[in-house]
Structure 1
């Protein structure tokens, strides 16, 4: 089965939204409040696609996963209970990474994350950041397996549960 990463297209939106809905169900079933307030919605994902920040993982001829890779300053990362190891160089934030339950357990998420990092690296980015909810153990495992180091707690825009574990990778 052919596996690769490419920029997301508008034609991918319905499949991406199915993956997002699947992820919301998974998070809810695992007891996490993350993504239970309507975020991310179709507008957020379409914005990722239109700004060419959205990427899809393709397995065979199916969209298996989605993530946004956004180069530039992330407002919620300006204050951290901890510290970034490199706060002067540009960085890319990886957001909204999710895989279809049909493709989980195949190691594709690790490859997808590596591919996104490689694409951004080729564009000159050497530092990467990501955050996740403290109950999202699969995401914590994924980022640690991709070489990210825990850096502290940031506050996201979730009024009910804003604390997020922040990670960084410097190449």
Structure 2
């Protein structure tokens, strides 16, 4: 039986995380998406995520298969939303960023495990509201978000010099 679980990333995971993110950057580029094409998330950002203890890796039989960042502080780019609004503006929320699954594991629906575990962590920390954003051309992430119950809420702008516009999603547990 395959063992699939989530744990906090360590500095020893950094090279594998960078490789997974680089694979995701190439996949987005191949899809015609400008998301992650300006250099971010960089190795330095990913290392900082690990040092801040906000980076998580999904392990499949003890091999790093995916990565995500789970923030418990308000996302500054979410303060302004257009063409819609956040459903829950009174409770604190967690933001999921920098989600990627290794090319070696694509097509195995591991994003469901990754998100399910992140939701469990959020609930254990007392957060019932999760948010995520993605580019209009990132159909994969849009499909994942919708399949997991995230609702489209509007447009936010992130610090991306190529195209800052992102579709914003929210899940209230």
TM range (shorter): over 0.9
Partner of 1:30 in structure 2? 31
Aligned with residue 135 of structure 1, among 112, 134, 137: 137
Aligned with residue 101 of structure 1, among 92, 100, 103: 103
How far apart are 1:160 and its partner, in Å?
A: 2.4
Deviations along 1:2-39, whole A, 9 cap, x unmatched? 11011001000000000011011101111111111110
Cα-Cα RMSD: 0.7
Query: Structure 1: 5+ residue runs without aligned partners?
Result: none
Partner of 1:89 in structure 2? 91
CA distance in 2, matches of 1:25, 1:14: 17
Partner of 1:45 in structure 2? 46
Deviations along 1:85-133, whole A, 9 cap, x unmatched? 0111100000000000110111111111010111111110110000000
TM-score scaled by length of structure 2 = 0.97
TM-score scaled by length of structure 1 = 0.98
Partner of 2:5 in structure 1? 4
CA distance in 1, matches of 2:7, 2:132: 20
CA distance in 1, matches of 2:161, 2:21: 21
Partner of 2:15 in structure 1? 14
Q: Which 4+ stretches in 1 moved above 4 angstroms?
A: none
CA distance in 1, matches of 2:91, 2:42: 31
Matched, 1:111 2:101: no
CA distance in 1, matches of 2:38, 2:163: 11
How far apart are 1:159 and its partner, in Å?
A: 2.5
CA distance in 1, matches of 2:116, 2:4: 13
